[in-house]
Amino acid sequence: MSRPGLFITFEGIDGAGKSSHIEGLAAAFRAQGRTVTVSREPGGTPLAEKLREMVLNDPMDALTESLLIFAARRDHLRNVIEPALARGDVVLCDRFTDATFAYQGAGRGFDLDVLSTLERLAQTGLAPDADLMREPDLTVWFDLAPEVAAERLAGARVPDRFEAQPVEFFRRVAQGYADRAAAAPQRFARLDAAQDRHRVWQQLTSVFVRKGWLAIMVASQGGPQ
């Protein structure tokens, strides 16, 4: 009997370090014989990657930004996420809808009710259950103070128009994540991302061991270098 797919998302402000752990977790799942699909948002399909470039680099208002992000998300769901879950894959996605509520909602101050409407439109009717609004099975939240994240990002690369925002913007984004986690505590797993990389990895894998999704031996082996 094939195992059901798992949809796991990674969230946190820019500089929180989430991206550096995704491949390590993918390797741990693969070591257990699972097929893993690793993707990101905005992006994950040719169309969504084009929209990503626009969102990250072209000036636009918050509504245009949100519409493009949800358009990219629907294409991503239709062409990558849902087919992978139907095959029984573990899907690891760097950002999903929580990021939209944190960045466009809390960060930009955009209407949360409008975002909820777009969420229902973009994420419903894709899975075998036509009435299901697709949400992650688990969201791993890398929680880090915006001031620390800014230090980590300083000089790393030419910032996109989100990374170039002032610290106050990221304070609002961080609060947006905290609000999302408080509203769905059964879905969120919070990690203290201020710790060193190895300790963050230990926190991360312990979440999956507790859920029975990873074996202890496998979880203790991999990890980002």
Residue 216 resides in a domain? no
Number of independent structural domains in the chain: 1
Q: Is residue 42 part of a domain?
A: yes
- Give the H/E segment covering residue 91: strand 90-94
HSE-up (13 A, CA, CB side) for residue 98? 32
pLDDT in tens, 108-121: 999 999 999 999 99
**Torsion 85-90-93-98 (CA) sign:** positive
pLDDT band of residue 167 (cuts 50, 70, 90) is confident
Distance CA 179, CA 101 (A): 10
CA dist., res. 130 & res. 140, Å (int): 27
Segments forming the whole domain that contains residue 138: 6-211
> Quick check: helix, strand or coil at residue 225?
coil
Give the model's confidence band at 179: pLDDT under 50 very low, under 70 low, under 90 confident, else very high. Answer: very high
Cα gap 225→138, rounded to integer Å: 24
In this structure, how many other beta carbons lie within 10 angstroms of the beta carbon of residue 155? 7
> Could you tell me if residue 224 is inside a domain?
no
Domain containing 186 — which CATH number? Answer: 3.40.50.300
In a domain, 155, yes or no: yes
Among 215, 222, 209, residue whose Cα is nearest residue 26? 222
Is residue 222 in a domain?
A: no
Residue 217 lies in a domain: no
Evaluate if residue 156 carries a pLDDT over 80.
no
Q: Which two tokens stand for residue 182?
A: 């408080």
Amino acid at 36: V
Which positions make up the binding site for ATP?
Answer: 12-19
Residue 93 lies in a domain: yes
Report phi then psi at 2, rounded to 5: -75, 145
Say if residues 101 and 172 touch (Cβ distance below 8 Å): no
Cβ contact 179:51 at 8 Å: no
Binding-site positions read 12-19
Q: pTM to 2 decimals?
A: 0.91
pLDDT in tens, 7-61: 999 999 888 888 889 999 999 999 999 999 999 999 999 999 999 999 999 999 9
